[in-house]
């Protein structure tokens, strides 16, 4: 495919200052391999079934609930000492039902299932692509229906993180599939400086190898 246009200044993602939520990337494995522990493996991030949670999604809201121990000691002169002993991290995600979207079809396929069928794994890439984590997770409170007669159907669910997350050891490349631009293949390469930690290539048609992907914008440098 020939590219003879470019991005207009000011229409792309912010590279400094205040990032917008759409600059983050959330990927969920839509064909997870669940082990005997009941959870997906997160020691190896590679795979070809990572769906980008974006089509029809308008809001992703992170919630962190810490468990704390609050104890007053003599050497603190009666004042309380606070220790964080645990964390519960979840994401409330909402938008509109989009038929045919790979992630949403996966969500629909497990909506009536219980137990380990709701378990998978996630990759979260921050806007500047330097803070990338993989974690085990469970999808709960799935809602696929609900709207006025002439309105788009509402969709919402909660992504609840399980156990301790891990960070990518090297540079993560997320390459969109030519067959489905919402399904990505993840690969990890070692790097001397580990900066950036992630490259997201949304454009397999004009950049099939991913070598020209801009790590900050997540798009091809030719745009």
pLDDT number for residue 1: 61
Distances, alpha carbon 73 to alpha carbons 20, 79, 84, in Å:
43, 7, 16
Asked if 166 contacts 43 with a C-beta cutoff of 8 angstroms, the reply is: yes
Q: Any bridge partners for residue 64, and if so which?
A: 89
Report the alpha-carbon distance of residue 123 to residue 28 in Å, rounded: 7
Indicate whether 222 pLDDT > 80.
Answer: no
Report the alpha-carbon distance of residue 207 to residue 203 in Å, rounded: 6
**C-alpha distance across the termini of the chain, in Å:** 13
pLDDT in tens, 87-140: 999 999 999 999 999 999 999 999 999 999 999 999 999 998 888 999 999 999
Strands 47-52 and 25-29: antiparallel
DSSP-derived 3-state class of residue 140: strand
CB atoms within 10 A of CB 71: 10
Tokens of 98: 């989009």
**pLDDT-based confidence at residue 10 (cuts at 50, 70, 90):** confident
Indicate whether 213 pLDDT > 80.
Answer: no
Q: Indicate the DSSP class of residue 186.
A: E
Report the alpha-carbon distance of residue 137 to residue 131 in Å, rounded: 18
In our burial notation (b when 16+ CB lie closer than 10 A, e otherwise), range 103-126 reads bbebbeeeeeeeeeebbbbbbbbe
DSSP-derived 3-state class of residue 134: strand
Indicate whether 190 pLDDT > 50.
Answer: yes
Strand order in the sheet with 119-125: 57-72, 80-96, 154-167, 132-143, 119-125, 25-29, 47-52, 183-189, 171-176, 198-201
pLDDT in tens, 155-184: 999 999 999 999 998 899 999 998 999 999
Angle, CA 75 vertex, CA 71 and CA 79 arms, to 5°: 45
DSSP-derived 3-state class of residue 148: coil
């Amino acid at each position: 495919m020939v590219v003879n246009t470019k991005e207009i200044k000011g229409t792309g993602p912010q590279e400094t200052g205040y990032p917008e939520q759409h600059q983050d990337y959330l990927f969920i494995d839509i064909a997870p391999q669940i082990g005997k522990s009941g959870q997906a493996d997160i020691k190896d991030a590679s795979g070809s079934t990572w769906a980008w949670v974006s089509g029809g999604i308008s809001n992703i809201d992170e919630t962190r609930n810490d468990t704390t121990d609050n104890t007053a000691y003599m050497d603190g002169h009666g004042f309380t000492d606070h220790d964080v002993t645990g964390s519960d991290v979840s994401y409330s995600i909402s938008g509109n039902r989009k038929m045919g979207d790979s992630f949403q079809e996966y969500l629909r396929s497990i909506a009536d299932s219980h137990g380990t069928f709701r378990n998978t794994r996630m990759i979260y890439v921050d806007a500047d692509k330097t803070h990338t984590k993989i974690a085990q997770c469970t999808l709960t409170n799935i809602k696929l229906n609900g709207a006025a007669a002439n309105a788009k159907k509402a969709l919402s669910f909660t992504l609840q993180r399980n156990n301790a997350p891990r960070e990518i050891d090297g540079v993560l490349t997320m390459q969109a599939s030519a067959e489905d631009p919402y399904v990505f293949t993840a690969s990890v390469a070692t790097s001397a400086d580990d900066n950036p930690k992630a490259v997201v290539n949304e454009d397999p048609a004009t950049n099939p190898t991913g070598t020209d992907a801009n790590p900050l914008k997540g798009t091809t440098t030719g745009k």
